Amino acid sequence: MAIKLKAEIRERVGKGAARGIRKNKNIPAVIYGEKKTPLTIELNGRDFEALLQTPSLRTKLFEIDTANGQEDAMLMDIQYHPVNDNVIHVDFKRIDVKKPVNVSVPVEVINADVSKGLKMGGVLNFAVRQVALRGLVHDIPEKITIDLTNLNIGDSVHGSDLVLPDGVQLGLHQAELAFATIGGKMADETDNQKPVAATAAPAAAAAATTTDEAKK
Protein backbone atom coordinates (compact mmCIF):
# COMPACT_ATOMS: atom_id res chain seq x y z
CA MET A 1 0.00 0.00 0.00
CA ALA A 2 1.35 3.40 -0.99
CA ILE A 3 2.24 6.06 1.54
CA LYS A 4 0.64 9.41 0.77
CA LEU A 5 2.52 12.63 1.50
CA LYS A 6 1.72 16.28 0.96
CA ALA A 7 4.59 18.57 0.10
CA GLU A 8 5.10 22.25 -0.64
CA ILE A 9 7.28 23.21 -3.59
CA ARG A 10 10.33 25.20 -2.53
CA GLU A 11 10.93 28.33 -4.54
CA ARG A 12 14.25 29.03 -2.84
CA VAL A 13 17.14 26.62 -2.48
CA GLY A 14 20.48 26.72 -0.72
CA LYS A 15 21.72 26.41 2.85
CA GLY A 16 19.98 29.55 4.06
CA ALA A 17 16.61 28.47 2.71
CA ALA A 18 17.08 24.97 4.16
CA ARG A 19 17.90 26.40 7.60
CA GLY A 20 14.73 28.46 7.46
CA ILE A 21 12.66 25.37 6.70
CA ARG A 22 14.20 23.45 9.60
CA LYS A 23 13.63 26.40 11.93
CA ASN A 24 9.91 25.97 11.19
CA LYS A 25 10.18 22.27 12.17
CA ASN A 26 9.84 21.14 8.56
CA ILE A 27 12.22 19.15 6.36
CA PRO A 28 13.77 20.11 3.01
CA ALA A 29 13.67 17.35 0.42
CA VAL A 30 14.17 16.65 -3.27
CA ILE A 31 12.54 14.38 -5.86
CA TYR A 32 14.77 13.38 -8.79
CA GLY A 33 15.02 10.81 -11.55
CA GLU A 34 13.11 9.56 -14.60
CA LYS A 35 15.03 12.09 -16.74
CA LYS A 36 13.02 14.96 -15.30
CA THR A 37 14.15 18.15 -13.60
CA PRO A 38 14.67 17.62 -9.84
CA LEU A 39 11.86 19.06 -7.74
CA THR A 40 12.78 20.68 -4.42
CA ILE A 41 10.06 20.29 -1.81
CA GLU A 42 9.29 20.89 1.87
CA LEU A 43 7.80 18.17 4.08
CA ASN A 44 5.84 18.51 7.29
CA GLY A 45 8.41 17.56 9.92
CA ARG A 46 6.02 15.99 12.39
CA ASP A 47 4.29 13.87 9.73
CA PHE A 48 7.55 12.57 8.28
CA GLU A 49 9.11 11.82 11.65
CA ALA A 50 6.05 9.68 12.45
CA LEU A 51 6.61 7.72 9.22
CA LEU A 52 10.06 6.66 10.37
CA GLN A 53 8.38 4.04 12.58
CA THR A 54 7.02 2.28 9.48
CA PRO A 55 8.76 -1.08 8.82
CA SER A 56 10.73 -1.43 5.58
CA LEU A 57 10.10 2.18 4.63
CA ARG A 58 12.56 2.03 1.73
CA THR A 59 10.51 -0.63 -0.06
CA LYS A 60 7.35 1.49 -0.08
CA LEU A 61 5.82 3.53 -2.85
CA PHE A 62 5.36 7.18 -1.90
CA GLU A 63 2.61 9.18 -3.59
CA ILE A 64 3.69 12.76 -3.03
CA ASP A 65 1.08 15.44 -3.74
CA THR A 66 2.48 18.79 -4.85
CA ALA A 67 1.12 21.87 -6.58
CA ASN A 68 2.48 20.38 -9.82
CA GLY A 69 0.61 17.10 -9.36
CA GLN A 70 1.41 13.68 -7.86
CA GLU A 71 4.91 12.23 -7.90
CA ASP A 72 5.40 8.47 -7.54
CA ALA A 73 8.70 7.91 -5.77
CA MET A 74 10.73 5.75 -3.43
CA LEU A 75 12.77 6.85 -0.44
CA MET A 76 16.48 6.80 -1.26
CA ASP A 77 18.27 8.64 1.53
CA ILE A 78 17.68 10.35 4.87
CA GLN A 79 20.26 12.71 6.32
CA TYR A 80 20.37 13.22 10.09
CA HIS A 81 21.83 15.97 12.24
CA PRO A 82 25.13 14.70 13.74
CA VAL A 83 24.25 15.87 17.25
CA ASN A 84 20.50 15.66 17.83
CA ASP A 85 19.64 13.02 15.16
CA ASN A 86 16.85 15.15 13.71
CA VAL A 87 16.09 14.59 10.02
CA ILE A 88 17.67 17.43 8.04
CA HIS A 89 17.13 16.31 4.43
CA VAL A 90 15.34 13.58 2.46
CA ASP A 91 15.96 12.27 -1.07
CA PHE A 92 13.24 10.62 -3.14
CA LYS A 93 13.65 8.98 -6.55
CA ARG A 94 10.86 9.04 -9.08
CA ILE A 95 9.70 5.66 -10.38
CA ASP A 96 7.40 4.34 -13.05
CA VAL A 97 5.06 1.96 -11.23
CA LYS A 98 4.75 -0.07 -14.43
CA LYS A 99 8.48 -0.83 -14.51
CA PRO A 100 10.44 -3.13 -12.17
CA VAL A 101 12.63 -1.61 -9.47
CA ASN A 102 15.68 -2.95 -7.65
CA VAL A 103 15.26 -3.01 -3.86
CA SER A 104 17.02 -4.60 -0.89
CA VAL A 105 14.74 -6.04 1.79
CA PRO A 106 15.51 -7.64 5.16
CA VAL A 107 15.66 -11.41 5.66
CA GLU A 108 14.22 -12.92 8.85
CA VAL A 109 14.47 -16.44 10.29
CA ILE A 110 11.43 -18.04 11.92
CA ASN A 111 10.69 -21.18 13.98
CA ALA A 112 14.13 -21.42 15.54
CA ASP A 113 12.51 -22.88 18.67
CA VAL A 114 11.27 -25.95 16.78
CA SER A 115 14.15 -26.36 14.32
CA LYS A 116 15.31 -29.99 14.06
CA GLY A 117 18.95 -29.06 13.68
CA LEU A 118 19.00 -26.58 16.55
CA LYS A 119 17.26 -29.06 18.84
CA MET A 120 20.06 -31.54 18.09
CA GLY A 121 22.64 -29.03 19.27
CA GLY A 122 23.38 -27.30 16.00
CA VAL A 123 24.37 -23.64 15.81
CA LEU A 124 22.65 -21.14 13.52
CA ASN A 125 24.88 -19.01 11.31
CA PHE A 126 22.63 -16.25 9.98
CA ALA A 127 25.15 -14.70 7.62
CA VAL A 128 23.21 -12.59 5.09
CA ARG A 129 20.38 -10.44 6.40
CA GLN A 130 19.50 -8.44 3.29
CA VAL A 131 18.47 -9.74 -0.12
CA ALA A 132 18.39 -7.78 -3.39
CA LEU A 133 15.13 -8.20 -5.28
CA ARG A 134 13.70 -6.97 -8.56
CA GLY A 135 10.01 -6.49 -9.34
CA LEU A 136 7.15 -4.03 -9.52
CA VAL A 137 7.03 -1.86 -6.44
CA HIS A 138 3.55 -3.13 -5.51
CA ASP A 139 4.85 -6.73 -5.54
CA ILE A 140 7.99 -6.21 -3.45
CA PRO A 141 7.50 -7.71 0.06
CA GLU A 142 8.51 -5.93 3.26
CA LYS A 143 10.76 -8.87 4.16
CA ILE A 144 11.68 -12.43 3.22
CA THR A 145 11.44 -15.21 5.82
CA ILE A 146 13.47 -18.41 6.20
CA ASP A 147 11.67 -21.25 7.99
CA LEU A 148 14.13 -23.23 10.12
CA THR A 149 11.65 -25.95 11.12
CA ASN A 150 12.90 -28.77 8.91
CA LEU A 151 16.54 -27.78 8.66
CA ASN A 152 19.02 -30.31 10.03
CA ILE A 153 22.64 -29.91 11.03
CA GLY A 154 24.66 -29.22 7.89
CA ASP A 155 21.74 -27.73 5.96
CA SER A 156 22.02 -24.33 4.31
CA VAL A 157 19.51 -21.96 2.73
CA HIS A 158 20.83 -20.23 -0.38
CA GLY A 159 19.31 -17.40 -2.32
CA SER A 160 17.89 -19.86 -4.82
CA ASP A 161 15.96 -21.53 -1.95
CA LEU A 162 14.15 -18.36 -0.83
CA VAL A 163 10.38 -18.24 -1.32
CA LEU A 164 9.53 -15.12 -3.34
CA PRO A 165 6.18 -13.60 -4.33
CA ASP A 166 4.98 -14.05 -7.90
CA GLY A 167 6.64 -11.58 -10.24
CA VAL A 168 9.60 -10.92 -7.92
CA GLN A 169 13.07 -12.12 -8.85
CA LEU A 170 16.41 -12.29 -7.09
CA GLY A 171 18.85 -9.52 -7.86
CA LEU A 172 22.24 -10.20 -9.39
CA HIS A 173 24.64 -12.53 -7.54
CA GLN A 174 22.05 -13.51 -4.91
CA ALA A 175 21.26 -17.10 -5.91
CA GLU A 176 24.47 -18.69 -4.59
CA LEU A 177 24.68 -16.73 -1.33
CA ALA A 178 24.28 -18.87 1.82
CA PHE A 179 21.84 -16.82 3.88
CA ALA A 180 21.54 -19.23 6.82
CA THR A 181 23.37 -22.43 7.81
CA ILE A 182 23.00 -24.80 10.77
CA GLY A 183 26.46 -25.95 11.74
CA GLY A 184 27.65 -28.66 14.14
CA LYS A 185 28.11 -32.43 14.19
CA MET A 186 25.37 -34.99 13.89
CA ALA A 187 24.83 -37.25 16.88
CA ASP A 188 25.93 -40.40 14.99
CA GLU A 189 29.18 -38.69 13.96
CA THR A 190 29.96 -37.96 17.60
CA ASP A 191 29.11 -41.54 18.63
CA ASN A 192 31.28 -43.02 15.90
CA GLN A 193 34.28 -41.18 17.25
CA LYS A 194 33.90 -42.53 20.79
CA PRO A 195 34.88 -46.22 20.11
CA VAL A 196 38.07 -45.04 18.41
CA ALA A 197 39.08 -43.11 21.50
CA ALA A 198 38.01 -45.99 23.76
CA THR A 199 40.08 -48.62 21.90
CA ALA A 200 43.05 -46.36 21.57
CA ALA A 201 43.67 -46.34 25.33
CA PRO A 202 43.86 -50.19 25.80
CA ALA A 203 46.11 -50.45 22.75
CA ALA A 204 48.49 -47.90 24.17
CA ALA A 205 48.46 -49.68 27.54
CA ALA A 206 49.24 -53.03 25.88
CA ALA A 207 52.13 -51.51 23.97
CA ALA A 208 53.52 -50.02 27.16
CA THR A 209 53.32 -53.44 28.94
CA THR A 210 55.15 -55.19 26.09
CA THR A 211 57.93 -52.60 26.21
CA ASP A 212 58.33 -53.01 29.98
CA GLU A 213 58.57 -56.83 29.70
CA ALA A 214 61.17 -56.54 26.97
CA LYS A 215 63.34 -54.33 29.23
CA LYS A 216 63.26 -57.00 31.93
58-62, 102-106, 167-171, 204-208: least confidently modelled range? 204-208
Q: Which of 215, 105, 125, 122 is nearest to 178 (CA)?
A: 125
Distant-in-sequence, close-in-space partners of 36: CB < 8 Å, separation ≥ 6: 94
* 139-192 pLDDT, tens digit each: 999 999 999 999 999 999 999 999 999 999 999 999 999 999 999 876 665 455
pLDDT of 191: 54
Residues carrying CATH 2.40.240.10, the chain = 3-94
Mean pLDDT of 60-73: 96
What is the topology classification, in CATH, of domain 101-188? RNA Polymerase Alpha Subunit; Chain A, domain 2 (2.170.120)
What average pLDDT does the chain have? 88
Query: What whole-number percentage of the chain has pLDDT above 90?
Result: 75
Strands 169-170, 130-135: pairing is antiparallel
Residues carrying CATH 2.170.120.20, the chain = 101-188
What is the topology classification, in CATH, of domain 3-94? Ribosomal Protein L25; Chain P (2.40.240)
- pTM listed for this prediction: 0.77
Does 203 have pLDDT greater than 60?
Answer: no
